[in-house]
Structure 1
Amino acid sequence: MRIGIVTATYLPSKNGVATSTALFARGLRALGHEVRIFAPDHPQRGREEADIFRLPSTMVAAPADYPLLLPPSASVIGRLPLRDLDVIHTMHPFLAGQVALRWARSLGVPLFFTAHTQYHQYVHYTRMSRRLGRWLIRRHVRAFAGASDVVLAPGGAMVDMLRRYGYQGDVDLLPNPIDPSSFREATGHEVRAWHGIPAQAPLLIYVGRLAPEKNLPTLLAAFKEALEQIPGAHLLLVGAGLQRAHLQNLAAGWPVHFAGAVEHARVPQYLSAANAFITASTSEVLPMSMIEALAAGLPLVAARSPAAEDLVIQGENGFLCEASPAALANGIARVFQADALPALHTGALSSARAFDMTARAGQLADLYALAIAGRAAHQAA
């Protein structure tokens, strides 16, 4: 098959959608399919893999590391290899999705849409009122899902969100993929040394944006409370964002380390340095960071969110908590109870197997083939 993926974010951007898109492309290509990715230009991109086609973008008013896609002109579109595509897949319902929808309709091929995000949680990035913004977003996402031929979701909680938005059509579950091989040889000894963390100190890690929707002040408060029960523990925050200075002020004098943004290829090394992964975010759907933490054998201490409810098996691979400092601190303490970590480590590795890149790409290829065959049969009737 010749597959076109239209995305609003791609490598070298450091976020879950960019990473999962790249892994799906790798898996599909390994199965013999041709994958062309249409993504915004990025000021930091270097030498790229084959079949990446960059679209006009801007960094004006754009979040850090997230260039904003601009509407491609007719001359830009005319230079793109679109005409022989068998299927088009988008990860976004907004501008990238509208571009994908127009292309799919003009080519007469199926349009796939993966709903990755609780979009209403991001209204604070816009200038409109929260109430109006949430109403408009729900209406738009519902309409876009209805215009798509196949709607995918990475977890059951995302399906529930689409239902709350009013979309009642079919939704296929397709978890985000990971590459297990990247975690097998990773060790975190150097990471601890770089950040001055003792080799035997209990270490919690968070990987993700330092952004308001991640509820990081609550995470820091939980860690401070947990220090009373786990003296000598450290916390490592991996990621960049506008809240970094504020969070550094909150954590002044505590054993909290800010690693900044790291290349995705180094994430396994960072995760392998830690004993457990913590998140206080209530907006996660199925982030790569949590899945990758499981692949590294890290139990999850997670505030209740759609992702946490899908991923955490209580007491087996982590602990699902209310989004309060006290509840999260209790979850941290349970991870570090005597002899708890080995069993939690085994449970984390076991639950990560469901996200193997090859298996997930094969499932996606089967869905593509089914949609293409269905459209051909409809056109022949």
Structure 2
Amino acid sequence: MRVLMISDVYFPRVTGVSTSIQTFAREFIDQGHSVTLIAPEYAGSGSDDEPFEILRIPSRYLPIDPEDRILRPRRLRRHHDYLAAAEFDLVHIQTPFLAHYLGLGLAQRLDVPVIESYHTFFEQYLHHYVPWLPSAWMRWAARRFSAAQCNDVDAIAVPSRAMLEVLERYGVHTPARVIPTGIELDQFSRGDGARFRARHGIAADRPVLVHVSRLAFEKNIDFVLRVLARIKTRIPEVLLVVVGEGPARAELEAQARDLGLADNTLFTGYLDRDGSLEDCYRAGEAFVFASRTETQGLVLLEAMALGVPVVSTAVMGTAEVLAGADDKGALIVPEDEQVFADQAVRVLSDTELRTRLARGAEAHAQSWSAPALAERMLGFYAEVCGGGCDGRGQQSSDMAGRGTPEGQFGG
């Protein structure tokens, strides 16, 4: 099968979407398929060392989020003849914005089906980046925008049942399938916490909590910092390592100072998945998380695969990731500062509990392997093609129309 993916974002821009694209594409290649990814060109991005093809399209600055870029559509046109000759079986759009419309145009030009992954809960996201407009208006706009885009394509892949239910409430009737992103268990089976501690001057016996995410307002990291302030009253030497970058970083660092946590927080920026991130996870006695807007929550699985106990709320996609793991790898807590702090203190203080949770966390992560979930996505591709994914670019007649009832594929 020949798959053409298109996205508004990819590495070196670190996001869950970038990770999902990379994970699926690598697995497709391992299973004998072909992938071409169309993605923005970033300053200093250099060469792409991937087993799949990446076409970098010149892009321009995005004022509301300096980390992101906008594809330049005219620069894609020079690749049209090359793409037409490649005989793709389908187009997989990974993000909305320009990639959505460019992907639709490519699918029409190539006469192949088009599916889209809905990775981000935009209703809880956009108003943080356009603060001069009323948040209620932005949520309404996000719902309308999402429904219109999802009803434009042949099929939708969503990472959680919770996100699918949201789309159904929006009025999306396109065939859909719940297919989470898996994790590369081999990669997240090794990590040296002592090496991370030595690199950052952290004492071997200092209690450490770890949080990994984009530093964005919708991630609820301000709540985690308030929890840390409560933990500090009982474990004064506690350290929270915050990994990531994003528009909320300066505000979060200021909040940490205001809460008297300057010596209890370490903001590392992004860490590469070359061992640095894995070492960081393993340096923690526990991984803490409280996002309300995750459509999945890959970082929870990464931490658990490395044997790091999780203390987290369970909302949207994180509830599905942690299903069956409560007290067996994770402590699931409500969004209550004192309750969250109490459970984190338990993990930090009780070696026997920590050891038991670590074993359970590793076991829980095994069912989220990247190869198995890639096979599910490939099966979905085959259904969307109606058995016609054979490299000829032909779409079966039963999928030729948009807006087939969602029940055709289910969740």
TM-score (norm 2): 0.86
State the Cα distance separating 1:169 from its structure 2 match: 4.0
Deviations 1:42-97 (A, max 9, x none): 11311213510012311241524322223345733435524411111012233211
Question: Which stretches in structure 1 are left out of the alignment for 5+ residues?
Answer: none
Whole-angstrom distance in 2 between the partners of 1:79 and 1:205: 48
Tell me the amino acid that sits aligned with residue 289 of structure 1: V
Whole-angstrom distance in 1 between the partners of 2:354 and 2:76: 57
State the Cα distance separating 1:207 from its structure 2 match: 0.8
Aligned partner (choices 264, 286, 296) of residue 296 of structure 2: 286
Aligned partner (choices 327, 348, 356) of residue 315 of structure 1: 327
**1:1-381 to 2 correspondence within 5 Å?**
1-48=1-48, 49=50, 50-61=52-63, 63-73=65-75, 75-78=77-80, 80-83=82-85, 84-123=87-126, 124-126=128-130, 127-252=132-257, 253-265=262-274, 266-312=276-322, 313-338=325-350, 339-374=352-387, 376-378=395-397
State the Cα distance separating 1:41 from its structure 2 match: 0.9
Whole-angstrom distance in 2 between the partners of 1:201 and 1:208: 22
State the Cα distance separating 1:244 from its structure 2 match: 2.5
Question: Which stretches in structure 2 are left out of the alignment for 5+ residues?
Answer: 389-394, 401-411
Whole-angstrom distance in 2 between the partners of 1:211 and 1:271: 20
State the Cα distance separating 1:337 from its structure 2 match: 5.0
Helix, strand or coil at the partner of 1:133: helix
State the Cα distance separating 1:117 from its structure 2 match: 1.0
State the Cα distance separating 1:299 from its structure 2 match: 2.1
Helix, strand or coil at the partner of 1:158: helix
Whole-angstrom distance in 2 between the partners of 1:100 and 1:55: 13
CA contact (8 A) 2:70 2:98 kept: no
Whole-angstrom distance in 2 between the partners of 1:328 and 1:76: 54
Cα distance change on mapping 1:21 and 1:257 into 2, 3 Å: same
Helix, strand or coil at the partner of 1:364: helix
CA contact (8 A) 1:89 1:113 kept: yes
Tell me the amino acid that sits aligned with residue 308 of structure 1: T
Whole-angstrom distance in 1 between the partners of 2:181 and 2:99: 20
Higher relative contact order (CA 8 A, sep 6+): 2
State the Cα distance separating 1:18 from its structure 2 match: 0.3
Whole-angstrom distance in 1 between the partners of 2:306 and 2:47: 28
Whole-angstrom distance in 2 between the partners of 1:22 and 1:75: 24
Whole-angstrom distance in 2 between the partners of 1:154 and 1:282: 15
Helix, strand or coil at the partner of 2:116: strand
CA contact (8 A) 1:195 1:257 kept: no
CA contact (8 A) 2:185 2:305 kept: yes
CA contact (8 A) 1:41 1:54 kept: yes
Cα distance change on mapping 1:81 and 1:205 into 2, 3 Å: same
- Mean Cα deviation higher: 239-248 or 282-291: 239-248
Cα distance change on mapping 1:82 and 1:275 into 2, 3 Å: farther
Helix, strand or coil at the partner of 2:383: helix
Whole-angstrom distance in 1 between the partners of 2:251 and 2:105: 42
State the Cα distance separating 1:230 from its structure 2 match: 3.5
- Mean Cα deviation higher: 279-288 or 32-41: 279-288
TM-score (norm 1): 0.93
Tell me the amino acid that sits aligned with residue 189 of structure 1: A
State the Cα distance separating 1:271 from its structure 2 match: 0.9
Whole-angstrom distance in 2 between the partners of 1:350 and 1:380: 39
- Mean Cα deviation higher: 164-173 or 44-53: 164-173
Whole-angstrom distance in 2 between the partners of 1:222 and 1:80: 54
Cα distance change on mapping 1:75 and 1:8 into 2, 3 Å: closer
Tell me the amino acid that sits aligned with residue 210 of structure 2: I
Deviations 1:245-280 (A, max 9, x none): 332233234421111122233321211111211122
Helix, strand or coil at the partner of 1:326: helix
- Mean Cα deviation higher: 76-85 or 323-332: 76-85
Whole-angstrom distance in 1 between the partners of 2:183 and 2:301: 7
Aligned residues between the structures: 381
Whole-angstrom distance in 2 between the partners of 1:194 and 1:250: 25
Question: Aligned Cα RMSD in Å?
Answer: 2.2
Deviations 1:120-158 (A, max 9, x none): 112221253322222122112112222221211111111
Tell me the amino acid that sits aligned with residue 37 of structure 1: L
